[in-house]
A and B are shown apart, each in its own frame.
Chain A
Amino acid sequence: MNEVVVDLSRLQFAITALYHFLFVPLTLGLSVILVIMEAVYVMTGRVIWRDMVKFWGVLFGINFAMGVATGITMEFQFGTNWAYFSHYVGDIFGVPLAIEGLMAFFLEATFVGLFFFGWERLSKLQHLLVTTMVAIGSNFSALWILIANGWMQNPVGAKFNPTTMRMEVTDFYAVIFNEVAQAKFVHTVSAGYVTGAMFVLAISAWYLLRGRHRAFAVRSMTVAASFGLASALSVVVLGDESGYAATEHQKMKLAAIEAEWETQPPPAGFNVLAWPDMEKRENAFELKVPWVLGLIATRSLSREVLGINDLVARAKVRVRHGLRAYRALQRLRRDPADKAAIRELRVFDHTLGYALLLKRYRTDIENATPAEIEKAAWDTVPDVLTLFWSFRIMVGLGFYFIVLFGIAFILSARRAFERHRWFLWLAFVSLPLPWVAAELGWIVAEYGRQPWIIEGVLPTFLGVSEVSVGQVAFSLVGFIVFYTVLAVADVYLMVKYARLGPDAYLGVDTNARARERVPVLASAIET
């Protein structure tokens, strides 16, 4: 295993995944907002709502193209850079990816063309149906990707097969209804909805600050305010659910997020602020609120939240058990009919991954020394400092969104946006924040899973392909250059169209059209 290849491959995956996720949340959120706006148009016949769909639609289209383009990298990068991972878990992990294509990506990609090209060829209801399919496709897409990702966090419904040397599906129902996957899905799409709502809110606020497109902006903000408030509430509540799922399945990640080195007597106190020191394995300072962590994490007063030190001790036992599974596997290779070895493997195979952590220190891991086992056990601790702060900033932003959209909702109900310019400024400058929160969320989820590529099953460094440093460096530099150019073009077009505004883009005066209507019933079925 070449350490440099591992590090470069991880860096490339992190960069391309975080970059891809700049576009995904906006697609998720904006697609639903487009459906809402178009539904209002079809139901009321008010033309300005069609203008809104068309204008936000063009921004959606630019973003969508970037999402599709960067998603292609993700679909194939498992094979190019994580070949052993692909072999080891493809039997399970490949399935949700393939179903994502069948059920979701085909749907959104096929209908997104008609969303743009179908205005003149479809009736209003048909076009609304098309827009709805794009939104459903995008959201289903997220579902299947998060089922795949959830399985990496909590690998249920699968078993190691010594004949094929890989994990294989035993219970697909468990894979789909994996608690972690379901919690992640609702949390992630809610985050996307917040992003979409913020995008519409911020740009509309900017129009109002400039005194442009009044009717258009106020209506857009009304949709964004109510949709955003509901989404911001659900992203926090469902994020809590996601965290609760983590306490059940990923105790180490939770302990790292909370910088809890020692197990506290229940109910555990919550570190509001702390400065974790990885070397000394303690917090340089901490500000603790009693009881809160125990209440959030276990939803009880009596259950413990295990600290890092205790979890490492547990990992040490698992490494030893894993070695028994590994030795049994070696014996099976020599004699596939060895009954004792089959039994031994069956008992300990769920810990096999822990033994594989030792591969970092020697190839003949069956001869590992106690010191190496100790090191391997400590390897199961992710980067506490990064997790602790990423998580806190993300959660802080989550609460901020509730407040911001709460105010927006009140102002919208009172039709008072324009009288509160401070709020319009606040909404405008808050534009980048959902992206910050979403990226930090992925850092918590993925960086927090380290050292595992599949939690407890396969260490990340073993998942990598047998490629050279030169090859990975080539693709990494290629992606960085390429993605930077695309980012410049994307931002340029986004800003260009946002500044252009709906009137110039559509060639109409949206204010004058605010009261214009088309007959509702007859028009719904005509083009």
Chain B
Amino acid sequence: MVPPIDYETLKIIWWLLLGLLLVGFMVTDGFDMGAGALLPFAGRNDEERRLIINTVGPVWEGNQVWFVLGGGAIFAAWPPLYALAFSGFYVAMFLVLAALIVRPVSFVFRSKNKDPRWRAIWDGGLFVSGIVPPLVFGIAMGNVLQGVPFRLTEDLRPVYEGSFAGLLNPFALLCGLLALAMVIQHGAAWLVLKTEGDVARRARHFGAVAGVGAVALFAICGAIVWAGLVEGYVIRAGAAPGAEANPLAKTVAREAGAWAANLNAAPGKWLGPLVGLLGLGVAAFLLQFKRGRLALVASGLGIAGVIATPGLAMFPFILPSSSNPSMSLTVWDASSSHLTLFLMLIATLVFMPLIIAYTSWVYYVIRGKVSLEALLASRESY
């Protein structure tokens, strides 16, 4: 069967959809990871910590599916990226998996035993699993912007040539901190929306600090790229948008300032960094005025803008190779087949509206502040 949408368009649609999935993950799972990261700081005793945990109790599980779906969608839409990134970032990936494995059980196990040591262990699990994923994703993004040392064999077998320590370079670490700061502010906004009293007060405080930090880190990272200290990549030949996907059929050069030039080439792309800066900044401001809901929206937009920025700056690159630039993965030559992209689009168009509808209903059902009395009275709460 020949899909009714041309291959090039589908490749672009999937680039957009995978961006949206990443945003969906960081915005939804972001606030519950942020709440986890704030757990020991915003919750000073067992009851306060239970309150925090139960604000996200009914929704974290659905939120985490964005991550799982992201993995599946990358597998289906960009198999070479799935193969390369996860085997290349092997140890980093293991850390994220460990965090996301400990997370579900920490939620469910924690309050099923009164022993304070037992609870401390799972509180620790929630804290670590709130910190590690955003940190690692930020670091990964920082490395992607710089390019990652890898090559592909003639059979297109991906071979990562770097090391775990190599991922921990200064620029990438800044990006990691940026992701963490965003998530903390986002989690704080959620806590301000869902709680009252001391927990909300502390969340406001930490959230605003994290928000200001995020704005500063985003500006610094942006300046570093702008100044050309992080080199970009440019396609010199090959990689025709409608061609069948083989990442070995093009020539790519490294070039300082290439990423910034991409933004300038289409000024509309500046919307990304603009929304990022404004969203994060405005959220910090709104938190001061106890406007939890608006702050949550603003920080969500901020996160979306920050994530969109490298995507827009790098397009059509998705994973440049620093050691063999011509083997870089781009939207044009690392996508799935025409038919697969089309079928996946149909599946997404059918199910995504449903997902959004029932997820919204769940948030509607659990609306309002979480009260300690209600959660202590319920046997099902965490």
Residues on A lying within 8 angstroms of B by beta carbon are 54, 57-58, 61-62, 64-66, 68-73, 75-76, 78-81, 83-84, 86-87, 90-95, 97-103, 105-107, 109-114, 116-122, 133, 161, 163-166, 168-170, 172, 333, 465-467, 471, 474-475, 478, 482, 486, 489-490, 493, 496-497, 505-507
Measured between C-beta atoms, what is the minimum distance from B183 to chain A in Å? 19
Residues on B lying within 8 angstroms of A by beta carbon are 57-62, 64-65, 67-69, 71-77, 79-80, 82-87, 90-91, 93-94, 97-98, 100-105, 107-109, 112-113, 154-160, 244-246, 336-337, 339-340, 343-344, 347-348, 351-352, 355, 358-359, 362, 365-366, 374, 378-381
Tell me whether A83 and B72 are in contact (CB under 8 A): no
> In the complex, which residues of chain A have a beta carbon less than 8 angstroms from the beta carbon of B72?
75, 94, 97-101
Tell me whether A166 and B355 are in contact (CB under 8 A): no
Interchain Cβ contacts under 8 Å between A and B, 25 examples: A54-B380, A66-B104, A69-B101, A69-B105, A72-B64, A78-B75, A79-B85, A79-B87, A86-B75, A86-B79, A86-B83, A90-B82, A90-B336, A94-B72, A94-B76, A94-B82, A97-B71, A101-B68, A102-B351, A110-B359, A111-B358, A113-B57, A133-B358, A161-B337, A497-B112
Q: Which residue of B lies closest to A102 (CB)?
A: B351
Q: Which residue of B lies closest to A359 (CB)?
A: B155
Tell me whether B108 and A109 are in contact (CB under 8 A): no
Chain B interface SS verdict (over half): helix
Tell me whether B73 and A101 are in contact (CB under 8 A): yes
Nearest 5 A-B pairs (CB), nearest first? A90-B79, A79-B86, A94-B76, A94-B75, A101-B69
Tell me whether B336 and A466 are in contact (CB under 8 A): no
Tell me whether B87 and A465 are in contact (CB under 8 A): yes
| Whole-angstrom CA separation of A467 from B62 in the bound complex | 32
> In the complex, which residues of chain A have a beta carbon less than 8 angstroms from the beta carbon of B378?
117, 119-120
Besides A97-B72, A163-B246, A471-B91, 12 more A-B contacts (Cβ < 8 Å) are A66-B105, A69-B103, A72-B64, A72-B101, A76-B86, A79-B93, A81-B87, A90-B336, A98-B73, A110-B65, A117-B366, A466-B87
Contact among B60, B108, B245 for A62, CB-based, below 8 A: B108
> In the complex, which residues of chain A have a beta carbon less than 8 angstroms from the beta carbon of B158?
83-84, 87, 465-466
> In the complex, which residues of chain A have a beta carbon less than 8 angstroms from the beta carbon of B103?
69
Q: Which residue of A lies closest to B75 (CB)?
A: A94
Tell me whether A90 and B246 are in contact (CB under 8 A): no
Given known contacts A97-B76, A168-B337, A466-B159, is B358 in contact with A489 (CB within 8 Å)?
Answer: no
Tell me whether B362 and A164 are in contact (CB under 8 A): no
Tell me whether A103 and B347 are in contact (CB under 8 A): yes
Contact among A91, A172, A466, A496 for B160, CB-based, below 8 A: A466
Q: Which residue of A lies closest to B358 (CB)?
A: A110
| Whole-angstrom CA separation of A166 from B76 in the bound complex | 13
Given known contacts A106-B355, A168-B339, is B93 in contact with A76 (CB within 8 Å)?
Answer: yes
Contact among B90, B105, B155, B339 for A475, CB-based, below 8 A: B90
| Whole-angstrom CA separation of A465 from B86 in the bound complex | 10
Measured between C-beta atoms, what is the minimum distance from A11 to chain B in Å? 16
| Whole-angstrom CA separation of A95 from B14 in the bound complex | 13
> In the complex, which residues of chain B have a beta carbon less than 8 angstroms from the beta carbon of A467?
87, 90, 160
Given known contacts A120-B378, A486-B105, A493-B113, is B244 in contact with A163 (CB within 8 Å)?
Answer: yes
> In the complex, which residues of chain A have a beta carbon less than 8 angstroms from the beta carbon of B156?
87, 164-166
> In the complex, which residues of chain B have a beta carbon less than 8 angstroms from the beta carbon of A71?
68
Measured between C-beta atoms, what is the minimum distance from B62 to chain A in Å? 4
> In the complex, which residues of chain B have a beta carbon less than 8 angstroms from the beta carbon of A84?
83, 155, 157-158
Q: Which residue of B lies closest to A71 (CB)?
A: B68
Measured between C-beta atoms, what is the minimum distance from B64 to chain A in Å? 7
| Whole-angstrom CA separation of A79 from B85 in the bound complex | 8
> In the complex, which residues of chain B have a beta carbon less than 8 angstroms from the beta carbon of A161?
244, 337
Contact among A87, A112, A497 for B80, CB-based, below 8 A: A87
Tell me whether A106 and B104 are in contact (CB under 8 A): no
> In the complex, which residues of chain B have a beta carbon less than 8 angstroms from the beta carbon of A486?
101, 105
| Whole-angstrom CA separation of A34 from B101 in the bound complex | 25
| Whole-angstrom CA separation of A118 from B94 in the bound complex | 34
Tell me whether B79 and A166 are in contact (CB under 8 A): yes
Measured between C-beta atoms, what is the minimum distance from A321 to chain B in Å? 20
Measured between C-beta atoms, what is the minimum distance from A490 to chain B in Å? 8
Measured between C-beta atoms, what is the minimum distance from B222 to chain A in Å? 30
Measured between C-beta atoms, what is the minimum distance from A386 to chain B in Å? 29
Q: Which residue of A lies closest to B339 (CB)?
A: A169
Measured between C-beta atoms, what is the minimum distance from A33 to chain B in Å? 18
Contact among A62, A91, A122, A163 for B336, CB-based, below 8 A: A91
Tell me whether B90 and A102 are in contact (CB under 8 A): no
> In the complex, which residues of chain A have a beta carbon less than 8 angstroms from the beta carbon of B60?
113
| Whole-angstrom CA separation of A493 from B106 in the bound complex | 12
| Whole-angstrom CA separation of A471 from B160 in the bound complex | 13
Contact among A83, A133, A475 for B83, CB-based, below 8 A: A83
Tell me whether A164 and B244 are in contact (CB under 8 A): yes
Given known contacts A81-B87, A91-B337, is B246 in contact with A72 (CB within 8 Å)?
Answer: no
Tell me whether A122 and B85 are in contact (CB under 8 A): no
> In the complex, which residues of chain A have a beta carbon less than 8 angstroms from the beta carbon of B64?
68, 72, 109
Q: Which residue of B lies closest to A63 (CB)?
A: B108
Given known contacts A68-B61, A98-B76, A102-B69, is B380 in contact with A87 (CB within 8 Å)?
Answer: no
Tell me whether A75 and B71 are in contact (CB under 8 A): yes
Tell me whether B61 and A92 are in contact (CB under 8 A): no
Contact among A95, A101, A475 for B343, CB-based, below 8 A: A95
Tell me whether B98 and A94 are in contact (CB under 8 A): no
Tell me whether A478 and B98 are in contact (CB under 8 A): yes
Given known contacts A102-B69, A114-B58, A471-B91, is B86 in contact with A83 (CB within 8 Å)?
Answer: yes
> In the complex, which residues of chain B have a beta carbon less than 8 angstroms from the beta carbon of A120?
374, 378
Tell me whether A75 and B91 are in contact (CB under 8 A): no
> In the complex, which residues of chain B have a beta carbon less than 8 angstroms from the beta carbon of A490?
105, 109
Tell me whether A94 and B380 are in contact (CB under 8 A): no
> In the complex, which residues of chain A have a beta carbon less than 8 angstroms from the beta carbon of B62?
106, 109-110, 113
| Whole-angstrom CA separation of A143 from B104 in the bound complex | 23
Tell me whether A475 and B94 are in contact (CB under 8 A): yes
